């Protein structure tokens, strides 16, 4: 009888402790998210303008959206009419010219209409001075970069 009571108590204790939320996982997630924003994310407007002018030198591009945060240079181009047939070569040429001008930057070029719209929205918003808001903007840019192929 006593052994049954001990076994049931032990089984209950193990079940309760096994089903509770572990607090250690939250702290690990927070510390993993912080390195993305440890140096405060900075947007480089002057380099964006330079990248925009370099991209504009490629023939066949109708619209250009550029955002550079830290070392991430994201370029969205819109190509219409018969230039759509040369889209892949235009994207490669833009990437090549930007890589020559910005060798240290991680360059992403896209012609996806939805990504152009999302990057335009991010570009139009003023860059926040608050660290937390700037970190959030950088995270949204990282999500866009995952959707970009190059």
**Does the predicted TM-score (pTM) go above 0.85?**
no
Assign 23 to helix, strand or coil: coil
What is the average pLDDT score of the chain? 86
Please indicate, yes or no, whether residues 14 and 78 belong to a single structural domain of this protein. Answer: no
Count of beta carbons in the 10 Å neighbourhood of residue 97: 16
Q: Is 16 exposed, middle or buried (0-12, 13-18, 19+ CB in 10 A)?
A: exposed
Yes or no: say if 95 and 52 are a contact pair by the CB < 8 Å rule.
Answer: no
Q: Does the pLDDT value for residue 69 go beyond 60?
A: yes
- Determine the 3-state secondary structure of 64 from DSSP: strand
Tally the residues of the chain: 150
Residue 51 CA, distance from chain mean position: 18
Question: How far apart, in whole angstroms, are the C-alpha atoms of residue 94 and residue 78?
Answer: 12
Q: 80 in helix, strand or coil? A: coil
State the total domains in the chain: 2
Residue 150 has pLDDT above 70, yes or no: no
Residues 97 and 28 in one domain: no
pLDDT, residue 31, reads: 45
Write the pLDDT tens digit of every residue in 6-36. 777 877 777 777 665 665 555 454 545 556 6
Domain that holds residue 19: 2-37
For residue range 73-100, what is the model confidence (pLDDT) as tens digits?
999 999 988 888 999 999 999 999 999 9
């Amino acid at each position: 009888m006593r052994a049954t009571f001990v076994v049931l108590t032990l089984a209950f204790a193990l079940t309760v402790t096994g089903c509770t939320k572990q607090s250690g996982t939250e702290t690990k997630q927070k510390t993993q998210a912080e390195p993305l924003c440890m140096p405060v994310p900075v947007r480089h407007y002057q380099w964006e303008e330079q990248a925009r002018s370099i991209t504009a030198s490629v023939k066949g591009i109708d619209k250009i959206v550029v955002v550079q945060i830290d070392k991430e240079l994201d370029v969205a181009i819109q190509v219409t009419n018969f230039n759509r047939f040369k889209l892949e070569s235009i994207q490669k040429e833009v990437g090549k010219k930007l890589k020559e001008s910005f060798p240290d930057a991680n360059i992403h070029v896209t012609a996806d209409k939805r990504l152009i719209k999302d990057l335009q929205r991010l570009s139009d918003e003023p860059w926040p001075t608050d660290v937390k808001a700037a970190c959030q903007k950088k995270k949204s840019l990282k999500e866009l970069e995952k959707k970009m192929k190059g």
